Amino acid sequence: MSVTSLLETRGLKKSYPQGKHSVEVLKGVDVTVDKGEFVAVVGPSGGGKSTLLHLLARFFDPQEGRITLGGVDLRDLGPDRLYDHLSFVFQDVQLFDGGVLENVRIGRPDATDAEVMAACHAARCDEFIRRLPEGYETPIGENGQRLSGGQRQRLSIARALLKDAPVLLLDEATASVDPEAQHEIQEAISRLIKGRTVIVIAHRLHTIQHADQILLLAQGRIIEHGSHDELLRAGGLYRDMWALQTVTQ
């Protein structure tokens, strides 16, 4: 899959049932992501950001429009081929009641223990893992319930590091963790995004000032698009969001 535009959406529409009716969450979204780009998706809550990321991961398909990866429609790619090229770190981390090693190794089932541990070290997991009763063999409970939210997030990052897929979908959700965990997660994310094509939902705008492109998604549409400096100069909603976060930091 070596084409200039690595990931594209055209006319993307998605609705969800609500009682006897349906609510249109995405209303014709066009996105072009080139190989190696860092693309941030920002906007008010409920604007369709998570739905867009879940469509890109093909957790479900759009009612209208298409998504292509390397020029091939996602619906024409088998799951194995798609997920060879794609990894994701979302808010809702999927973990099972096994040991740490087994949970992280899902990223690459043939990885050695040493490779899993190296990924955990890079994701800033090693210190808390070694404090667990059985270290890397410690059962973490269904959905990782014996771990904190920040620890679960870092295990998900370790899994993505181990997988080493070229395209990363990331929900940068750190609002619910303490400041120390935020710092460690951000350091782990910085390692994870190097050398990859990244599409990230950004909640803290100062983390995406250097993005190649920023998409402001509101009410199901991309209403602003450009670099950080371009959007500040445009004087629209992005500038208002930036001003509010700058004041409250």
Give 183-236 pLDDT, tens digit per residue. Answer: 888 888 888 888 999 999 998 899 899 999 999 999 999 999 999 999 999 999
- Looking up tokens 């429009």 gives 65
- What's the pLDDT at 1? 46
Report, in angstroms and rounded to the nearest whole number, the Rg of the chain calculated over CA atoms.
19
- Tell me which residue range forms the domain holding 205: 5-248
Q: What is the secondary structure of 172-192 as a DSSP string?
A: E--TTS-HHHHHHHHHHHHHH
Query: Residue 31 to residues 20, 69, 103, 136, 149: CA-CA distances in angstroms?
Result: 31, 12, 33, 40, 31
Q: How far apart are CA 192 and CA 162, in angstroms?
A: 10
- What's the pLDDT at 231? 97
String of b and e for 44-83 (b: at least 16 CB within 10 Å)? eeebbbbbbbbbbbbeeebeebebbbeeeebeebeeeebe
Burial class (CB in 10 A: 0-12, 13-18, 19+), 222: buried
Q: How far apart are CA 171 and CA 9, in angstroms?
A: 19
Q: Which residues of the chain have pLDDT under 50?
A: 1-4
Per-residue tokens: 211: 């993005």
- What's the pLDDT at 21? 86
Query: Which CATH number does the domain housing residue 180 bear?
Result: 3.40.50.300
- What's the pLDDT at 78? 85
- What's the pLDDT at 142? 85
- What's the pLDDT at 178? 67
- What's the pLDDT at 174? 61
Q: What is the secondary structure of 59-88 as a DSSP string?
A: SS--SEEEEEETTEEGGGS-HHHHHHHEEE
Query: Residue 219 to residues 22, 111, 127, 153, 201: CA-CA distances in angstroms?
Result: 15, 42, 42, 28, 15
Number of domains in the chain: 1
Q: How far apart are CA 217 and CA 224, in angstroms?
A: 7
- What's the pLDDT at 242? 96
